[in-house]
Amino acid sequence: MSANFIALKSLLTKEINRFTRIWLQTLVPPAVTMSLYFVIFGTLIGERIGVMSGFSYMEFIVPGLIMMSVITNSYSNVASSFFSSKFQRNVEELLVAPVPTWIIIAGYVGGGVTRGLLVGCIVTVLSLCFVDLQVSNFGVLIISVLFTSILFSLGGLINAILARNYDDISIIPNFVLTPLTYLGGVFYSLSLLPEFWQDVSKANPIVYMINTFRYGFLGVTDIPLIYSFSIIFLFVATFYGVAHWMISRGIGLRS
C-alpha cells in the first residue's frame, strides 16, 4: 500500500506542478474569459432580459459559467498532459512499472480535478464582483462539481489515449464539448423551450450537471436531482471502466 501511495502522490504532484508552473496560461485565461461573460451576458444583456426562473439573469447564469470553466479545464488538463506523456513516451515507464492501472488514472484525473476546481474557485470569487451569490444546498453543490470534474477529467484521459497527434486533442473540445456546453442550459432555462426541444436537450448529459450545480446555488432545477445524479454517476463509472480497460490493454499506448 505504501508503494501505491508514493506512486499516486508522485503522479499527482507532477500534474499539479505542471499546470501551476505555467499559471499564466492555465489559470489566468479562464478567469479573463469568464469575466467577459459576466460583463457582456450578465450586465449588458442581462439588464434587458430581466428575470429568469425567479432570479436576475446574472444570478441565473453564474452557476452555469462556473461549471463551464470547471468542465473545460478539467478536460483540457488531462488531455494535454497525458498525450504529452504518450508523445514523449514517458507513459511507457508507467506501463512497465509495478503501478496499478487505477493509480495511473487517479494521478492524472486528480491533476485535472485540481485544476478544474481551482479555476472554478477563481471564477466564483470573480463572480462576487458582479452578484451576491447565495448557497442553497452545499452538499449538492460539492458533489455535483466534484463528480463533474472527475467525469470530464476521465473524458480527457480517454481522448488522449485515442489521439494520434495534437490536432486530435482539439477535435472533441471544439466540435463536441463546446456545443454541448452552450446548449446545456448555461444561458437559459429548459422551461423556455418548446416541449420537443426540452426532450431533445435531455439527451445532453451536460444539462444534468449544470442543473444540479445551479440547484446547489439557487435551489431551482429543470430536472429532478435523482435523475441528474444518476446520469452523472453512470457516466463516471462508464468512463472509468473504459479508461481502465484501455490502459490495462495498452490500447493506443504501445507502439
Dump pLDDT digits (tens) for 4-60: 889 899 999 999 999 999 999 999 999 999 989 988 887 778 778 888 888 989 999
| Mean pLDDT, range 80-89, rounded to an integer | 89
The better pLDDT of the pair 212, 254 is held by 212
Asked whether residue 218 carries a pLDDT value surpassing 60, the answer given is yes
Residue 140's pLDDT is 97
- The C-alpha atoms of residue 87 and residue 164 are separated, in whole angstroms, by 9
Show the DSSP H helices in the chain as ranges: 2-21, 23-26, 28-37, 46-49, 57-87, 91-96, 101-127, 138-162, 166-172, 178-182, 195-201, 205-218, 225-249
- The C-alpha atoms of residue 255 and residue 251 are separated, in whole angstroms, by 9
Asked whether residue 1 carries a pLDDT value surpassing 70, the answer given is no
Residue 90's pLDDT is 81
Residue 52's pLDDT is 87
Nearest Cα to 117, choosing from 80, 85, 139, 143? 143
The conformation of residue 89, written as its DSSP 8-state character, comes to T
12 near 115, Cβ under 8 Å? no
The single-letter code of the amino acid at 157 is L
| Calculated CA dihedral for residues 151, 124, 226, 57, nearest 10 degrees | -120
| Mean pLDDT, range 151-176, rounded to an integer | 92
Going by pLDDT thresholds of 50, 70 and 90, the confidence category of residue 255 is low
- The C-alpha atoms of residue 25 and residue 48 are separated, in whole angstroms, by 34
The whole-model pTM stands at: 0.94
Going by pLDDT thresholds of 50, 70 and 90, the confidence category of residue 95 is confident
List, in sequence order, every residue forming a beta bridge with 55; answer none if it has no partner. 52
Asked whether residue 80 carries a pLDDT value surpassing 90, the answer given is yes
Nearest Cα to 60, choosing from 223, 229, 224, 210? 210
The better pLDDT of the pair 53, 76 is held by 76
Residue 210's pLDDT is 96
pLDDT tens track for 101-158: 999 999 999 999 999 999 999 999 999 988 888 899 999 999 999 999 999 999 999 9
- Across 66-75, 149-158, 183-192, least confident range: 183-192
118 near 26, Cβ under 8 Å? no
